[in-house]
Each structure stands twice: as C-alpha cells, then as structure tokens.
A = this chain, B = another copy of it.
Amino acid sequence: MGCIAFIGLGLYGLRDISIGAIEYLRRASRVFMEKYTSILPDFKKEELEVIIGKKIEVLTRGNLEEESGEIIIESAKEGNVAFVSIGDPLIATTHISLMLSAIRENIKVLVFPSPSIINGVIASTGLHIYKFSRPVTLTFIEEKYKYYPFTAYSVLEDNLKRGLHTLFLLDIRISENRIMNIKEAVNVLIELERIEKRQIIDEELTIGIGIARSTAPDECVYVDILRKLKEFDFGPPPYTLVIPGLLHQTEIEALNILGKADKEKLLRWNQRIKSSFLGRI
C-alpha cells in the first residue's frame, strides 16, 4: 500500500512550491493535478515536469467529483502518488473528501501545505487576519435557473453588522471559460441589493478592495467605492474582492499605501459602518 501527498502550488508560477513537495514529487510514481477550480498566473506545467523529471496527469472535475478521485486512490494502492492543486491543497472541500476516502482505505496521507488566497490577501492589503469573518463564494447569477447567490449577500450583511471584513471567492469555471472579474462581482452584489433591499450595498458608498494576481510581480490592488471599482482595469485574472468592515488606523494606512485608497473615503466608510451597521443584530 502506498501513499497520497496533497501538494499545493501556492499563488504564483513555481515560486511557492515547497522544497518538501519537490523532493516528494521527484520520487512519486504518479503525479496528478487539478486545475479547474483556480488560476495560477505564469505557471507552466512543462517547467514543473522538467524539475520533477516526470509527466503530470491533469484530472477533470468529473474524475474528482463523479468518480470521487478513484484514479488517485487506485494508483496509491500501488505506489506513492501526488495530488497537486493550486493555492492551498486542502481548502477545497472536495479535496478533504478525497483525503478521508484514502484514509478509510488505509492509504497513508501526507500534506504539503501552501499559501492560499487568504494568505495572499493579507499580504496584498495589510488587513488584519483578526478582522476577517467567514469568507464566502460569490457565483454568477443564473437567470435561466432562477439562481441568485443570496448566501453571499447574507454573509456580507452579518459580517458588516459586526464591523468585520468579508472576503469574496469569485466564481471560476475554467471548462466554460468564465472567470468572474471585479466588475461582474460588483454587479452581482448590486443586483442582490436590488432584489433584497436591505441597504447593505450602495455603489456610491460601499468601499470595495479589488485584488488581481495577489502577490504576483504584477499584482494589482485598488480600493474605492464600488462604482469606481467597476470602472478600474485590473488586468488579467485571478481576482478577489474584499468588502471591509470597520478599519483600524494601521489598515487605513496600509490600504492607502498598497491600494491607492483615499483616506477620507475610508474614514467616511468607518462612519457609515458605525451609524448604519454596528449593533444592528
């Protein structure tokens, strides 16, 4: 019986892959990779293949979801295999399911942790980890199926009433070639406000922090009211959006330096949080 190593590639090219992971990959009998849930700027699979001296087999969503990663489990019965993904290797719940299936089959599991977008956002914005409440996925509205991501709106409301920051994980559908950008994300939030009318989002007042290619050399961070954020050109993906809660003085300083934020606007936002959200629970 072999072993499965869950390996993360982090946030940019081959920069974040760990020396522990490289060492394991060089000795692994088979290497699988999943790259349909995220985007890794400047990553070339062939470059990693040269470093580790073997081919990487790319899996589809079907391999992992409908077939529950059976191909990985079966291979691990015969040798030491690796399952590589972008960002942190276990933040996706599908990957945890695969890990548990492996353990149930008496397959040994190793984890090579890597930075996720949460680490990236802290580095890109200077926001305090202690001020982040739960993150939430913001998906595309599917009018055809009458599907609206109301959870994202409710989570934002709940977080703002506590003065806490909300990190939105934006929808990525590689197979459909659809990647939600900051403008689309803002428009989804505005549409949810139009339907729900709970005065959570106001494009002239709500401050948004848009981040593209977090921690990459051409990272882009821009902070402004949502209407301005929609007009800003962030360049290529991946993207993340944060709606901040009550900002600490050092966070205001950081957003000013790292995200070109107007301090006056941030102070007005703090006032609005105090008068319109805090304590309304």
Contacts and interface: CB of A to CB of B under 8 A. Distances in A.
B118 A115 contact: no
Contacts of A128: 93
6 contacts: A12-B20, A14-B19, A16-B18, A16-B112, A115-B115, A116-B129
A96 interface: yes
Given A91-B129, A129-B91, A134-B130, A119 B114 contact: yes
A123 B19 CA distance: 19
Nearest to A130: B134
A208 interface: no
A116 B120 CA distance: 11
A224 interface: no
Contact of A89 (B22, B89, B123): B123
Identical chains bound together, number = 2
B129 A135 contact: yes
Nearest to A88: B119
Interface of A: 6, 8, 10-20, 22, 88-91, 93, 96-97, 99-100, 103-104, 111-116, 118-120, 122-123, 126, 128-137, 158, 162, 164, 215, 250, 253-254, 257-258, 281
A162 B158 CA distance: 9
B100 A253 contact: yes
Contacts of A20: 12-16
Contacts of A133: 133-134, 164
Judged by DSSP, the binding face of A is mixed
A251 to B, nearest CB: 9
Contacts of A118: 118, 129
A133 B163 CA distance: 12
Contacts of A112: 15-16
A268 B122 CA distance: 36
Given A113-B215, A133-B134, 12 more contacts: A15-B19, A88-B122, A89-B123, A96-B250, A96-B254, A100-B254, A111-B215, A113-B115, A129-B135, A130-B134, A130-B135, A130-B137
B18 A122 contact: no
Contacts of A18: 10, 15-19
A48 B143 CA distance: 55
A238 to B, nearest CB: 14
A88 B115 contact: yes
Contacts of A88: 115, 119, 122
Contacts of A253: 100
